[in-house]
Amino acid sequence: MARTLLIDETRSPILLVEDNPDDAGLALYALAGVDLDGSVRVVRDGIAALDLLLGPEGADVREPLRLILLDINLPRARGIEVLGRLKSSPETRLIPVVMLTSSGEPRDLQACYDLGANGFIVKPVDFTAYAEAVVQAARYWLTVNTSVAESGAIRHPLNFEGAPRPLRAKAAPTGTADRSTDPARSEAPGCRPDPPTAHR
């Protein structure tokens, strides 16, 4: 049975920003094999993506959006420029963005992560490998990852580049906190607990 995928113009969990029709077709074919609980929306250039997401009707597009697949080499505005705009805007900064490129230039990789990209896929020449990379990204962000909206958590504080700042446990003054009740002194990942204080 041939794969089919609804390309919705209203409510879609995935936005694909890709100007190459062959690459867009391969990505859509791959995503047709994933249970998206929705559809994929496609735009062909960087300005169109920004107008769609940050324009007057942007709220309706952003509300169901859970992943942006963003090509770097786009007409009108490069993907890196689009990424910077999205990660610096309060309306879009928490939407996961995975960059797509055929070059794999180290400076592009560094620039994307500096701006807050959530992933970076170098398009393989082999169709099967490219399809699998796109599918893995979609499955992770749509079925494994828990978004801020889903968890009901507050938004992360931002650093000056617009990327989420790591939250660090705050140490309470010695003798004033009980480890069993104070979450700030819990053994959070990456935080080593203080040694126990001897009682006299």
**pLDDT tens across 107-117, in order?**
999 999 999 99
For residue 7, being part of any structural domain is answered with no
Q: How big is the CA angle at 136 (ends 132 and 138), to the nearest 5 degrees?
A: 120
Q: Which residue range(s) make up the domain with 78? A: 14-151
For residue 94, being part of any structural domain is answered with yes
Identify the pLDDT of residue 152. Answer: 57
**Range with the poorest average pLDDT among 29-33, 120-124, 183-187, 193-197:** 183-187
For residue 184, being part of any structural domain is answered with no
In whole angstroms, what is the distance from residue 130 CA to residue 27 CA? 8
For residue 109, being part of any structural domain is answered with yes
For residue 185, being part of any structural domain is answered with no
In whole angstroms, what is the distance from residue 162 CA to residue 94 CA? 10
Q: Report helix, strand or coil for 40.
A: strand
For residue 70, being part of any structural domain is answered with yes
Q: Report helix, strand or coil for 158.
A: strand
Residue 36 carries which side chain, given as an amino acid letter? L
113: which residues sit within 8 A by CB, 6+ positions away?
Answer: 120
For residue 113, being part of any structural domain is answered with yes
Query: How many domains does the chain divide into?
Result: 1
Per the prediction, the chain carries an average pLDDT of 76
In whole angstroms, what is the distance from residue 113 CA to residue 56 CA? 28
**pLDDT tens across 151-179, in order?**
555 443 333 344 444 434 444 444 444 44
Q: What is the CATH number for 126? A: 3.40.50.2300
**pLDDT tens across 8-33, in order?**
445 688 999 999 999 999 899 888 87
**pLDDT tens across 99-138, in order?**
999 888 899 999 999 999 999 999 887 888 988 999 999 9
For residue 198, being part of any structural domain is answered with no
